[in-house]
Chain A
């Protein structure tokens, strides 16, 4: 007899929340985010109280682009209103914003996922598939932090522990197998990647930053993170150069002295507010010979541009402007989009596999335990009767016991496997009927916990 394909068994995992993918505008996302100092901790304390009352498990995940509440209740699924009310109440406790106000603001953007779809949603997030910048890796840390906070507050149990541990593993697998996490995610990132393509390791390399604006800072931070050891900052306002240099562990230099540093620098980041180019072809040409075989990499991220275009024609000099870097970011994003289809398949398969394990854990395990207990009791009863009837030596008795245990294990194997299989049927009714038959066959009383577990999707 063939049974329904066990593609997506129901598990008691739910998610409610909103993100940039639910069309929630940034004004809504920032209002509902738990980003205020202490907000996540307050929410965790509140959830710990709800766990004590209901026995349900909770994890709150809140980043700049999403706020999602994951829950699992062995006692049965929560209806949509109950879950959303909890999220709004949680927000009120953590941020003092009235729940009805949050509901009015965010209600239209909420999405709900249940069962393996909720598991899949978390796996997608962990793999960076749900991120605004496809494949970005920062989300892994954010999931770890959210989960650690939940564990510390005692709001997790066997189900969400499994789901969150699995999400980190699946995220890593999807990234490793598809290279989804590779490539430049921003202009600054692309600039730093190119620096490494030209110079290799940036250790012992000097970066000269012209301008102390946000773009200069972001790019310089990427170069610093890539290993650049010396960072020099030149700005028309010397004090701003000092501030930026301090934040980058670098050194401020007088703006008038920057041309002399071109002979020493390996990477130059130009992003000043000057209306005319500040780095001229003549300026760079005068240092090319002095530099010998050391390539000079110039990054012009200013608008209007800071470096004369003719500089890029000089030997040993590589000039990149904002368009070039943006082009690189877009090409790599296109590559990642191609890889995302493969990552989606991995995530979908893993979500179903995880749902099956959870279903086995929630439904099959209690019944298997009872079947085994029943069989063990019968075996022990018969052994006891046998011992009373015969006079066995210790060796003989040891042999009999070993034989009895072997028979018990062999007899239990097939029913155990069948119960696990029945538990993962997508058709709930069929699962219920099959497990009832098992109980009848093994003459098991309908213990409350088993029935409850089977009744729940």
Chain B
């Protein structure tokens, strides 16, 4: 079995789990919930094997192309969902998180397999690995925080408007999703800070980066992402904003994150 086949199986598992968890959200069938959780865990395990096989095939860290980086991000998102499921039983977030994981893998498959970084010395640098892993971990946490914020706003609207009250029982408790979104940002923000700092230090050391990396679009946007989540933490912890208002920051934050991820960059050759 090679990594491509295993990755295809993984993507299928994520898609099935997302559908099952979505069906449970609307129809409230315990069997589908447990099946969704099981298939998600199976997908994450298969993904770990796929990434391991890819490492073995390349004899390098598994982020030599944008597709590999997206696959790594999808895996961390799936793991983050499983963590959220274990800590708060927020199965509803799985629909979004695993759907996103499926799309990331699919997107990676559609991208042209070019721009491979084949410099083992570069990928072997601790600063680069730390930069990539911390940033990917932060984005995964923000994806889940986005799902929690969306669920919060859906429940908040129903409770305020009193329309569709029978739907409220299908959604996770308001206070729980709010706590979960804060906890995820509390984990993701330091990781993002670490990712930016390690990338910055590595860039300061030179070694092959183009001139003007300070003004690279991805670099600049990553500061924007950092600022958005810093504002969220400030608003929630210090300014006394209500959870409904801070939830909108999390929705905006992921949009900026995705823009950062997808924007072309000369200084970032891994994704």
Contacts and interface: CB of A to CB of B under 8 A. Distances in A.
Interface residues of A, number: 26
B173 A328 contact: no
A393 interface: no
A289 interface: yes
Interface residues of B, number: 23
A416 interface: no
B194 to A, nearest CB: 26
A183 B165 CA distance: 12
Given A294-B175, A295-B174, A197 B242 contact: no
A365 B240 CA distance: 76
A305 to B, nearest CB: 15
A75 B240 CA distance: 79
A331 B28 contact: no
Interface string A70-104: 00000000000000000000000000000000000
Q: Is the interface of B mostly helix, strand, loop or mixed?
A: helix
A197 B174 CA distance: 6
A316 interface: yes
Contact of B165 (A198, A289, A331): A331
A200 B28 contact: no
A146 B68 CA distance: 66
Contacts of B160: 312, 318
Interface string B142-168: 000000000000010001101001101
B26 interface: no
Given A179-B28, A193-B169, A200 B242 contact: no
A199 interface: yes
A187 to B, nearest CB: 13
A140 interface: no
A292 B240 contact: yes
A196 interface: yes
A295 to B, nearest CB: 6
A328 B240 contact: no
B162 A327 contact: yes
Contacts of A198: 159, 173-175
Contact of B175 (A183, A199, A327): A199
Given A198-B174, A295-B243, 10 more contacts: A193-B169, A194-B168, A197-B174, A198-B159, A199-B173, A293-B243, A315-B245, A316-B243, A320-B162, A335-B166
